[in-house]
Amino acid sequence: MLHELGYRLQSVRKSREGASHPDPNEQFEHINAKADEFLHRAQPVVSVDTKKKELVGDFKNVGRKWQAKGQPEKSMVHDFPQDAAGKAIPRDIHDMGPNDAWVSVGCDHDTPSFAVASL
């Protein structure tokens, strides 16, 4: 009946832009200037970023790894969150002064407390 009325199954299409800032680089220029100022004074400058969360368990993940020919690693057919042992939340920390970086992985909630604990 829906087909007869001209309806079709369709996914959402991203097409509406939000309002643009008159100078989109202004924010980044300000941040870079402050970072340079702090680094010049030997003060710490860090970048904190949350990476893609992943279900923990027997799930298919993108990527490849070396396996014997004809013996691919097996995973569950469906990636249902309720079948997961949890969710891995990677937090990337980059210390710009010495150019060091590391990743902390939590498995509870992505909270400001986790960001602080990662630092």
Q: What is the mean pLDDT of residues 73-98?
A: 88
DSSP, residue by residue, 59-117: ---SS-----TT-PPP--SS--GGGSSEEEEEEEEEETTTTEEEEEEESS---HHHHHH
The pTM for the full model equals 0.57
Q: What is the mean pLDDT of residues 100-104?
A: 91
1-49 per-position pLDDT tens digit: 999 999 998 888 888 888 877 887 998 999 999 999 999 999 999 998 8
pLDDT of residue 45: 95
